[in-house]
Amino acid sequence: MPEFNREEYEYKEYLPTYPKIDYEPHVELKIDDRGHYADPEMKALLGAATKVDNIGATIGIQLDGIDLRKLTNQQKDELALLAAKRGVVVFKNQDASIYDMIDIASYYGPLHIHSTTGVPTDPKLAGVHVVWSDGTKDVDRIQMDRPRSWHTDQPYEINPPGLTSLKVITDPPTGGDTIWSSSAAVFASFSPQFQAYLETLYALQSSEHQKVRALAAGTYIRRPQTDFVHPVVRVHPVTGMKALYINPSYTARIVGIPKAESDFVTKFIYSQIMECEDFKVRIRWSKNQIVYWDNRVLWHTATYDIYPYKRHALRATPVAERPESVADYEKRTGEKAKNWYEEKMRALGEDITGPKSVFKPAGAD
DSSP-assigned letters across all residues of 73-124:
HHHHHHHHHHHHHHSEEEE-S----HHHHHHHHHHHSPBP--SSS-B-SSGG
Considering only residues 142 and 63, tell me which one the structure prediction assigns the higher pLDDT: 63
Amino acid at 74: Q
What's residue 353's pLDDT? Answer: 55
What pLDDT score was predicted for residue 1? Answer: 58
Is 227 a domain residue?
yes
Q: The pTM is what?
A: 0.94
Rg, Å, the chain Cα set? 21
Q: What is the mean pLDDT of residues 235-244?
A: 98
Q: Is 167 within the bounds of a domain?
A: yes
Which neighbouring-strand residues pair with 205?
A: 228, 251
Confidence (pLDDT) at 139: 80
| Residue 242 near residue 326 (C-beta atoms within 8 A) | yes
Q: Is residue 5 in a domain? A: no
Percent of the chain residues past pLDDT 70, beyond the cut: 95
Residue span of the structural domain in which 331 resides = 26-348
Residue 20 lies inside a defined structural domain of this protein:
no
Say how far apart CA 314 and CA 318 lie, in whole Å. Answer: 14
In a domain, residue 314? The reply is yes
Residue 149 in any domain: the answer is yes
The count of structural domains within the chain is: 1
Q: What is the mean pLDDT of residues 121-127?
A: 94
- Lowest-confidence segment of 50-59, 156-165, 214-223 by average pLDDT: 214-223
Least confident of 76-80, 218-222, 328-332: 218-222
* Mean of per-residue pLDDT scores for the chain: 93
| 17 is a domain residue | no
Mean pLDDT of 53-82: 98
3 has a pLDDT exceeding 90:
no
CATH number of the domain residue 276 falls in: 3.60.130.10
Amino acid at 191: S
Instruction: Examine residue 164 and state whether it is found in any structural domain, yes or no.
Output: yes
Contacts of 65 (CB under 8 A, 6+ apart): 48, 49, 50, 51
- What pLDDT shows up at residue 359? 44
Which of residues 196 and 141 earns the better pLDDT score? 196
Instruction: Find the helix packing angle between 73-86 and 98-108, rounded to 10°.
Output: 80
**Each residue's pLDDT tens digit, 156-178:** 999 999 999 999 999 999 999 99
